[in-house]
Every structure is written in structure tokens, then in C-alpha cells.
A and B are shown apart, each in its own frame.
Chain A
């Protein structure tokens, strides 16, 4: 998945690393310049050469400016590139999600999908930015600092003083691992705690009604106490890392001072060289300190990379399904002995379904929850792979028509009335390119929602969705209906669309639709039989099979499941008075 990224943005790493190495090199020059300055002053006053001292002071400023510039450049290229990568990955992920078949999406929990976008993209970015930069710059600075200690100061002193460093590396890797494990435990406790808070607050009425406040609080307090223990335990380990590293490097400095000091006294080393040595040792210490963070980020990054790869490698909707139609799609719909089973399930969701739906006719689909009604609607839209030779539109096998073309002629209205966080206008017009405001109002009137919208203070500009106005279930469903109607679809699919709309309005909408949509095919799925009463054909689906079919009158005469359901609904009318 990264190939395309590296092809386009990979070049940035070249100047990035180049400037990074230069930057590391310049950094190691600073202690040397300071050492020289000290040396030039460490002599009899009469012998001090003013220009030499001033030149070193000037070098020190120059070095700082050099570091400033080179560091700025490499960070822009390397860390900046990780931002480009983040941008790239997020878009890849979005494109992928948009083109994943509904069959895949419905298996995933939305929280998991969100975690890809939020956590994993971020972790991979850190790996390709901070981790690479920190490790390369740390390593090169440390190596060059050691090199200048060996060449400019003294090899034996360097070796002696650096002897404890491997212990520091060992400690940080070892302790780092334990700290990470404990930290993960703390995090899992934290999410448990947040979960408990959520649950308690969401369910506070239940808790109160059973008078179990104290018991709930005890449970919460226990988790909170566990959290306390885990945090203290974590601190007890993590508090060891920094002090032990500083003790180990303290030993390095002490060795340098004692051995180096004696060498200066013996005349084998200049005072300035000792100063250079101390300064360079600090440049070795810093990368070792950051080792723990590097390992941590790297591990998270790799795990996230694997997870992202799995999702990005999912087969999407095939290209050919996304092509435009060769010729207009439409006509009679024929379903011939359609049997369908969801992947990885055992029972047929639809079992030997056959029906003929002439162009312009209305089909009513009823039956218990989970009987296969929505599945049938999804197949008419090619949301799932349809078996060959079972569904025909205008005589053509639906498998031979691109999914895009099938959907282009259809208007689908789901039960939940899902709307995007946008204005009402956008929610309706977005779905028909080139639609005018008149089209929008016409569709809204047809869906009997125009008056509702007009009564909002902002009219069609009212924001809906999470941060917007709260709409009733019925209003959402009717706006979703308008969104489908503005497309002027050849095939209108209402998947229990009017469940939250009262009887009266439902009848009003259905009557308008049948007048206006003469010659267009309509499929109505409903739990409320009043919605399908007037359809040319009604099918009663049970356990994936058509149990009964016919017109309302025929079905009533049969006195079967349909008739039973109808009578039940008759007597159980709503007792909330509707206005």
C-alpha cells in the first residue's frame, strides 16, 4: 500500500536525511569550539591571541545557526513527509471504505472502523516520522560525537568512560518493556472505568428505581481503587528509568573527570579537550534516553501498519460495477427462483423467490422481522453479489448491469431515515446533481415534509444531524423520502420507510405517490399493512420464502398469515391520540 506513496513523496527522504546528517555533524562541533576557546584562554595572559578566542566565540554562534537551519530543513522533509503520509493513508482508507461492499461493512463494528482512521493512521505516521528521524539523528549524532571524542580528545579515555553505556541501553530496553506492559494494563483499566461511568450515567434511572445507588458506587469505587493501585505500580517501575540512566551516565562523567583530570595534570590532555569531552558525552546521553520512546512508538506503529494493511487489502467493489450504463436501465423486474445466503452463514436468507413486477406496478412486501425483506431490497440494488440468472431488469440479467447503473435508476429510502450532518437542502439536493430549488420543494411536498421544513426558523437551511436540530423519526424518514424522490427514480424502494409516520400522513403520501408516479415501479416494505393494502401484488415473506401472495382482497379471503396480521393490527390501534 505504501508503494504509491513512496513513488510520489519518497524523494523527500533524500534531502531530509542529507540535512539530518549535516545537522548531526554540526552539532558535534559545538563542544569542540568551546574546548578550543577554553584552551586559547588557558595560558599566560600575555600569550592569549584575541583573534583566536573571538573566532571560536563566532564559531559557536555560527554552529547554532547552522543547526537551526539544517534541523529546520530536515524536520520539514522527514517529519513533514509523515504528515503527507498521514494525509495519504487517511484518504486511501476513506476511498477504501466507500468502495467496500456492504457485505463487508455490515460485518464490522463501526467503532473498529473508526479506530483505523483515528489511532492506526496516527501510529503509522509517528513511525515514519518521529521514529525514523529520532533513531537516525540519535544514532548519527552519538557516533559522530564518539568519533570526535576519539580523534579530538583521547581514545583510551573515551573507551573507559563509555564502558557503562551498554548497561544503560540494556536497562532502558528491559525496563521499557515492563513499563509498556504495565501501561497497557492501566489503559485497559481506564477504558473499563470510562465504560463504568458511561453505563452508570446512562442507566442512572434504572439504578435509582432499584435503589441500588450504594452498590453501584461500591463497584465503581473498586475499579477506581484498582486504577489507583495500577497507576502507583506503574510509577514504581517507570520512576526507575530516568534515575538509573542518569546514575550510569553520572559514572561516565565521573570516570571522565578523574581519568581525564589526571591526564590534564600530566600534560597528556588540554583543559579544552576535557571540556569538549564532557560536551560530547551529553550528545551520547540524549539518544540513549530517547531509546525507550522510540521502541514504544515503533511497536505501536508496526501493529497499526498490519491492521491497516488488512483493511486496505480487502477486495473492494469490482471496477466493472462502477461503470456507467451502456443503455438506459429499466423495465419489468423479474425474479426467477432466487436463493441467497450471506457469506459465512448457514441458512438461506432468501429461498426460491420468484416474482414478476411489471413496469409501473406497486409491490407490497410484508412479513416478520428477519424474514428477508430488507435482503431482497438490497439485492434489487446490487448491494450484495446477486446470484446469476435470478434477477432481471428489463430482460437483462442484473449481474450484467454495472451496480452503478442499477442504483442510478433507483430511489432507496431506508427505515432509519439516515441523514448526514448538513442542511436539509444539502441532504435532499446532494443526491441529484443539477437539481434546482424547485425540484427540491416539489420532492419535499410529495414526501409531505415541506410544511414541516417551512416551519423551522431556518427553513431548508436548517442543520440536521448530530450538531443540528433534533428532528423526529417521522421527519427524518420523510426527508429521506424526498432525497429519493428528487432523483425521479424509475424504481422507488421504501424499506419500512413510513414506520414513524402516523397513519393519516402515510395514506396522504401514498396517494400522492401513486398519482404522481404513474408508470414508475414502487416496492413498499412495511410492518403496517395499511401501507401495502393498495399494491397490485403483496407478498408475505416468512423465513426467506414467499408464504402467501396476491392482492389485499385475495389474501384476506385466504384467511392465512396476512389476514391474521391484518386483524390483529385492526384491534390494536394506537391509543396515543395523534394530532
Chain B
């Protein structure tokens, strides 16, 4: 197991700082209601010893009725404080949680793409959901349970010693036995539970996979074999659950056996005291004996909870470590961000740009080019030649190691990031759509009028199918799966041009789509690239023949450039590629 970072505990504590007043009040409530737990048996003890066995005279509150009413008042008081405690605790825990969630999310949103890629979306999602929820348990449960249980144990011990120290010593024999039993059974329970979780994970995975692959299983008549595999998993799960059941069935009754033994011991000891077998003058009062039987029963619950808390604290610390190490990641995309915020007109220039994702692997080796406002250019080259990297650099998602990139003759580092990115629309290869309405997906948190959205859809040839799918309010399901690949593509075009950006960067999709859709996409690209600087990362040659300039990238360098005709006349790499495409 990974060692926990001790500073995580300190940082967990620091998170609580603004909300300490809640916590203090919670602790105060715990103190009061805990007092109730101790006083109740003591009141009964007085009734038994003073009035029922000794027959002392009753007057005022010091009477059976008076103490009976006091008993009820104590219950009422501690119930009130218990309620207040729970309500305050919810505010305390939820407030921290809200803050933590927002902080983690803010951090993730502002992390550079490089760091995001390092983590991967799966891990980031776990950090922002599961790990944060685990800490919820820490703040809204563990912290107070710990305090409450330890307080209860200490005050029980104190109360018993105060009432009759000899009897108390007899009763304490039970504590180590209960603690030992609880911790050891819980340990086995936990190990078995881990096994259970692993197997049920397998079973669920198996289910999910078979649902996805049912067509295959049926087409190959393999139902029986799959069922056999499933049965084995299902049986082994049953076995572990039965072990869990047996252990659970033992835990509490075993405690009760121990408790009963202690009570029997108390009776035996008490009897001998009463008849004076132990000599001395200390007379045992029956009320004390009764109160002790009550107190002894209260030992189990806090010990059991502490044993449980121990394992939850461990997992909370693991989550805390993960969250804090995420929060420690640098989250400034551009440490030298400038404040240039003039609207972009559309000139793009690279001057001897060198770039590597990791130290030595140069992806771009001195790339220089200029695109004037309104021009259309395309980048061509084999996979890994550095085409997509150019997009990442223009939007300053990555920062080149050497050279300068200028937009409108202003170096990127002098631009305000928000202005820069708002003026450059990027269409990525894999289209991502958000769950929500079509309009939401086009506007992406901008205040666009319905008119603007409709116009964007029109220009990108998407109006027709959008109308069929319920118009602007039409639903977009997870990852836009209710649209075809082509339709998603068109929606992403509409989204890119809705804000009328000066520069459009388009990474063409590689997926094979049928010819009709292909044609529609070509038309759409033609229309959306009008009146703005357009940079295409092309994967198909038919797209780009009308471009003002085509750059052929190889191993991080531009080796050919010019328009289609020029390049064909040059008869170099580009021309070769075009010919090989036609030959097949």
C-alpha cells in the first residue's frame, strides 16, 4: 500500500478553517447529548438506591416523580442537541464539500492541456467525483464520530470509576476483549469485502461486455460457453458473500456474549460484596449494579464504530493525497500571459518555430509561414509529421520552445488568452458534443441570439437535419450519440463559426463516412471558410485543391509549399501523393 502523505492530514484540517464555528458548535452539542447518556442511568440509580431500597423520604425534585420528570427532561435536552448537532454538521460538511468540488473543478478547467493529457479523463473524473465524495465521509461523519466515541468511552470510564472503582475494574475486563474481537473480525471482514468487490466488478464487467457483444455470441452460437463462464463467476461471488454473512452474524452476538459474561461477573462480584465476602465496609448498592449493566452495554457501539472508522480514515487519506496532488499541479496555462485584447483581424505568422512535447523529441523543427487575413491554407503530410501540433500552438495550448508565433503581428505571449481563443475557432478531429439542447451546443455559454444560431446552422448545412431532430431545442444525448458522425461534424462546424471568428482552424476528420455525407461536409467546409482566415489540417486531398497555399510537412519541416497547380508542376512529394491516390 502507498504510504500516506502526512501533510494531507494537515491540509484536510486547513480546509476546515473558515467553518470552524460550525465545528465548535457541533462539538458542544456532542458534549451535551453525551452528558445525557451518562446521566440517565445515574438518575435511575438514585431512584433505586435512595427510594426503592433505602426508603429515604421524598421531597420536591428529590423524589421518584421529580427524578422521573428530570429523566424525561434530560432525554428532551439531549434530543434537541442531537438534532442541532446533525443540522450543523450537515452545513459544515456540505460547505467544505461545495468549496472543494468547485476548487477541484476550477483547477482542472485551468490546467494546461499537457497536464490534462498526463492525467487522462478517467482519472480526472475520479478525482472530481469519487475522491471528493470520500472526503465528504471524512468531514460529515468520521470527524464527529471519532470525537463522540472517544468522548463517550472516556466519560463512561470516568463515570463508572466515580460510582464504584472496584466494580469498574471488573467491568473493564470486557474492554480489551471487545476491542480485540471487533478489530480482528473487522479485519477479516474487510479483506473478504475487498474480494467481494473485486468479483462483483468482474461480474458487472462481464455483463456489460456480453450486452455489447451479444450479437457476436448469438451469431457464433456460443451462449452455453458464456453461461458456463458466468456461472463460475457467479458461484465464487456467492461463496464470498456467504463468508461475509457468517462473519457479520458473529460480530454482534459475540459482543453480546462478552457483555453478558461481564454482567454475570458483576452480579457475582456484587453478591460477594453485599454478603461481605470481600471484607471491608464498602456496601454495594443495587442501583449501582443496575447502572453498571446499562453502561456496559454502551461500550460495544463506540468500539465497533472506531474499528470501522479506522478503515474509512485510510481511504479518506488516500483520496486526500490524490486530490491535493492534483491541486498542487501548476494550473496556469500561460505564466507570461499579456493583456493585448484588440479584436483579431486574421493574420497568422510562424517564425522559425521549434516545438517538442517532451524534451528531445522535436515535432516541429523551425517552421515558418505566413497566412494573410482571409486566406485559406492547408497542411498536408504523413501521420506524425506535426500537422495537429500546429493547431495546439496557434491557440497557445502549448508553448513552443523556440521561435515566435504572431497573430496580427503581435506575439502570442502578449495576447490575453481569452481574446486570443475567442477569435480563433478550432474544430477538432473528434467532435465532442455536450448533453443538452442543440442551441446550447452551438452557443457554448455565449449569449448568442436565436437568429445567430440559426444562421450558423444554415451556413454549415446543418439546418435541415436539426429541424428533423426537434429544432434548436432538440436533445443531444451523451457524446451526441443520437447523431451520425457526419451530423456531429456539421454541428461542430456551426459551433465554430457561430461567433464569427476571424480565424478558423479545422482538423479534418479521418473516419470513413459514406459518400453522400462526405459531399455535404465538403460543401459545408466551403461555406464556413468564407470571409475568414482558414487553416486546414487535411487528411484527404480532394478538400484542399482550392486553397491559396498548401504546406507539405515532413518530419517537422515544411518541405513544399504553393498552391495545387504549382505543387503539381513541381512534381514533388505532394504530386506523388495525389497521383497514388488516383491510381488505386
Interface residues of A, Cβ cutoff 8 Å to B:
30, 34, 37-38, 41-42, 45, 48, 50, 53-54, 56-58, 60-61, 63-65, 67-68, 71-72, 75-76, 79-80, 83-84, 86-87, 90-91, 94-95, 97-100, 102, 105, 110, 113-114, 117-118, 193-195, 197-213, 215-217, 219-221, 224-225, 227-228, 231-232, 234-236, 238-240, 242-244, 246-247, 250-251, 253-255, 257-258, 261-262, 264-265, 271, 274-275, 278, 368-369, 381, 383, 404, 407-408, 410, 412, 414, 418, 420-421, 430-431, 465-466, 483, 487, 499-500, 503, 527-528, 530, 565, 568-577, 579
Whether B102 and A573, one on each chain, are in contact in the complex, defined by CB atoms closer than 8 angstroms, is no
Whether A207 and B80, one on each chain, are in contact in the complex, defined by CB atoms closer than 8 angstroms, is no
B61 at interface by CB-CB < 8 Å: no
Can you pick out 14 interface pairs between chain A and chain B where the beta carbons lie within 8 Å of each other?
A41-B274, A42-B53, A76-B246, A95-B227, A97-B210, A97-B214, A193-B129, A225-B98, A235-B90, A243-B83, A418-B216, A527-B515, A574-B581, A575-B538
Whether A64 and B257, one on each chain, are in contact in the complex, defined by CB atoms closer than 8 angstroms, is yes
Whether B256 and A98, one on each chain, are in contact in the complex, defined by CB atoms closer than 8 angstroms, is no
Q: How far is the CB of A194 from chain B (nearest CB, A)?
A: 5
Q: How far is the CB of B65 from chain A (nearest CB, A)?
A: 5
Whether A201 and B128, one on each chain, are in contact in the complex, defined by CB atoms closer than 8 angstroms, is yes
| Chain B residues touching A, majority SS | helix
Contact of A219 among B71, B108, B445, B513 (CB under 8 A): B445
Whether A421 and B218, one on each chain, are in contact in the complex, defined by CB atoms closer than 8 angstroms, is no
Q: How far is the CB of A97 from chain B (nearest CB, A)?
A: 6
Q: How far is the CB of B113 from chain A (nearest CB, A)?
A: 7
Contact of A91 among B51, B231, B512 (CB under 8 A): B231
B91 at interface by CB-CB < 8 Å: yes
Residues of A within 8 A of B424 (CB): 209
Interface readout for B204-245 with A: 1 if CB under 8 Å, 0 if not? 110111111111111111110111001100110110011001
Q: How far is the CB of B128 from chain A (nearest CB, A)?
A: 5
Q: How far is the CB of B131 from chain A (nearest CB, A)?
A: 11
Whether B109 and A570, one on each chain, are in contact in the complex, defined by CB atoms closer than 8 angstroms, is no
Give the size range of B's interface with the partner: 35 or more
B426 at interface by CB-CB < 8 Å: yes
Whether A56 and B276, one on each chain, are in contact in the complex, defined by CB atoms closer than 8 angstroms, is no
| Chain A residues touching B, majority SS | helix
Residues of A within 8 A of B110 (CB): 213
Whether B542 and A203, one on each chain, are in contact in the complex, defined by CB atoms closer than 8 angstroms, is no
Whether B541 and A247, one on each chain, are in contact in the complex, defined by CB atoms closer than 8 angstroms, is no
Whether A576 and B510, one on each chain, are in contact in the complex, defined by CB atoms closer than 8 angstroms, is yes
User: Of A110, A220, A254, A265, which is in contact with the most chain B CB atoms at under 10 Å from its CB?
Assistant: A254
Closest 10 CB pairs of A and B: A573-B581, A250-B75, A235-B90, A64-B260, A243-B79, A258-B68, A239-B86, A215-B445, A577-B382, A57-B264
Residues of A within 8 A of B87 (CB): 232, 235-236, 239
B318 at interface by CB-CB < 8 Å: no
Q: Which of B357-365, B427-435, B560-568 contacts A (4 or more CB under 8 A)?
A: B427-435
Contact of B584 among A54, A209, A235, A573 (CB under 8 A): A573
B281 at interface by CB-CB < 8 Å: no
For the complex, what is the distance from the CA of A62 to the CA of B259, rounded to whole Å? 12
Q: Which of B161-169, B285-293, B348-356 contacts A (4 or more CB under 8 A)?
A: B285-293
Residues of A within 8 A of B260 (CB): 30, 60-61, 63-64
Interface readout for B237-269 with A: 1 if CB under 8 Å, 0 if not? 110011001101110011011011101110110
For the complex, what is the distance from the CA of A487 to the CA of B129, rounded to whole Å? 46
User: Of A217, A250, A570, which is in contact with the most chain B CB atoms at under 10 Å from its CB?
Assistant: A250
Residues of A within 8 A of B234 (CB): 87, 90-91, 94
Closest to B297 in A: A282
For the complex, what is the distance from the CA of A368 to the CA of B264, rounded to whole Å? 85
Residues of A within 8 A of B263 (CB): 34, 57, 60
B418 at interface by CB-CB < 8 Å: yes
Whether B286 and A38, one on each chain, are in contact in the complex, defined by CB atoms closer than 8 angstroms, is yes
If the complex has contacts A76-B249, A220-B105, A573-B581, are A271 and B225 also in contact, measured as CB distance less than 8 A?
A: no
Interface readout for B69-89 with A: 1 if CB under 8 Å, 0 if not? 101101110111011001101
If the complex has contacts A114-B204, A572-B541, are A98 and B223 also in contact, measured as CB distance less than 8 A?
A: yes
Whether B205 and A565, one on each chain, are in contact in the complex, defined by CB atoms closer than 8 angstroms, is no
User: Of A193, A207, A247, A265, which is in contact with the most chain B CB atoms at under 10 Å from its CB?
Assistant: A247
For window 387-426 of B, CB contacts with A under 8 Å fall at 395, 397, 417-418, 420-422, 424-426
Residues of B within 8 A of A58 (CB): 264
Residues of A within 8 A of B421 (CB): 208-211
B271 at interface by CB-CB < 8 Å: yes
If the complex has contacts A72-B249, A575-B380, are A209 and B425 also in contact, measured as CB distance less than 8 A?
A: yes
B313 at interface by CB-CB < 8 Å: no
For window 426-468 of B, CB contacts with A under 8 Å fall at 426, 428, 432, 434-435, 444-446
Closest to B90 in A: A235
If the complex has contacts A203-B434, A246-B79, are A213 and B109 also in contact, measured as CB distance less than 8 A?
A: yes
Residues of B within 8 A of A264 (CB): 52
Q: How far is the CB of A347 from chain B (nearest CB, A)?
A: 14
For the complex, what is the distance from the CA of A173 to the CA of B496, rounded to whole Å? 55
Interface readout for B518-541 with A: 1 if CB under 8 Å, 0 if not? 110000000000000000001111
For the complex, what is the distance from the CA of A68 to the CA of B253, rounded to whole Å? 5
Whether A76 and B245, one on each chain, are in contact in the complex, defined by CB atoms closer than 8 angstroms, is yes
For the complex, what is the distance from the CA of A336 to the CA of B83, rounded to whole Å? 77
Residues of B within 8 A of A383 (CB): 215, 218-219
Residues of A within 8 A of B124 (CB): 201
Interface residues of B, Cβ cutoff 8 Å to A:
44, 47-48, 51-53, 55, 64-65, 67-69, 71-72, 74-76, 78-80, 82-83, 86-87, 89-91, 94-95, 97-98, 101-102, 105-106, 108-110, 113, 116, 121, 124-125, 128-129, 203-205, 207-223, 225-227, 230-231, 234-235, 237-238, 241-242, 245-246, 248-250, 253-254, 256-257, 259-261, 263-265, 267-268, 270-271, 274-276, 286, 289-290, 293, 380-383, 395, 397, 417-418, 420-422, 424-426, 428, 432, 434-435, 444-446, 479, 484, 499, 510, 512-519, 538-542, 577-578, 580-582, 584
Whether B226 and A98, one on each chain, are in contact in the complex, defined by CB atoms closer than 8 angstroms, is yes
Residues of A within 8 A of B102 (CB): 217, 220-221, 224
Whether B121 and A202, one on each chain, are in contact in the complex, defined by CB atoms closer than 8 angstroms, is yes
Whether B577 and A575, one on each chain, are in contact in the complex, defined by CB atoms closer than 8 angstroms, is yes
Residues of B within 8 A of A80 (CB): 242, 245
Closest to A258 in B: B68
Contact of A407 among B116, B218, B432 (CB under 8 A): B218
If the complex has contacts A76-B246, A368-B516, are A254 and B581 also in contact, measured as CB distance less than 8 A?
A: no
Residues of A within 8 A of B519 (CB): 568
Whether B444 and A253, one on each chain, are in contact in the complex, defined by CB atoms closer than 8 angstroms, is no
For the complex, what is the distance from the CA of A261 to the CA of B519, rounded to whole Å? 95
Whether B113 and A205, one on each chain, are in contact in the complex, defined by CB atoms closer than 8 angstroms, is yes
Whether B289 and A421, one on each chain, are in contact in the complex, defined by CB atoms closer than 8 angstroms, is no
Whether A204 and B116, one on each chain, are in contact in the complex, defined by CB atoms closer than 8 angstroms, is yes
Residues of A within 8 A of B578 (CB): 573, 575
Whether A201 and B83, one on each chain, are in contact in the complex, defined by CB atoms closer than 8 angstroms, is no
For the complex, what is the distance from the CA of A211 to the CA of B518, rounded to whole Å? 30
Residues of B within 8 A of A418 (CB): 212-213, 215-216
Closest to A240 in B: B83
Residues of B within 8 A of A572 (CB): 518, 540-542, 581
Closest to B435 in A: A199
Interface contacts beyond A247-B75, A571-B582: sample of 10 additional A-B pairs, CB < 8 Å, sorted by A = A34-B293, A54-B271, A72-B250, A118-B207, A217-B109, A236-B87, A240-B83, A261-B68, A565-B515, A575-B380
Q: How far is the CB of A40 from chain B (nearest CB, A)?
A: 9
Residues of A within 8 A of B108 (CB): 200-201, 204
Q: How far is the CB of A320 from chain B (nearest CB, A)?
A: 15
For the complex, what is the distance from the CA of A574 to the CA of B238, rounded to whole Å? 54
Whether B432 and A202, one on each chain, are in contact in the complex, defined by CB atoms closer than 8 angstroms, is yes
Whether A117 and B106, one on each chain, are in contact in the complex, defined by CB atoms closer than 8 angstroms, is no
If the complex has contacts A90-B234, A117-B207, are A247 and B577 also in contact, measured as CB distance less than 8 A?
A: no
Contact of A211 among B101, B209, B290, B418 (CB under 8 A): B418
Whether B208 and A110, one on each chain, are in contact in the complex, defined by CB atoms closer than 8 angstroms, is yes
Whether B289 and A228, one on each chain, are in contact in the complex, defined by CB atoms closer than 8 angstroms, is no
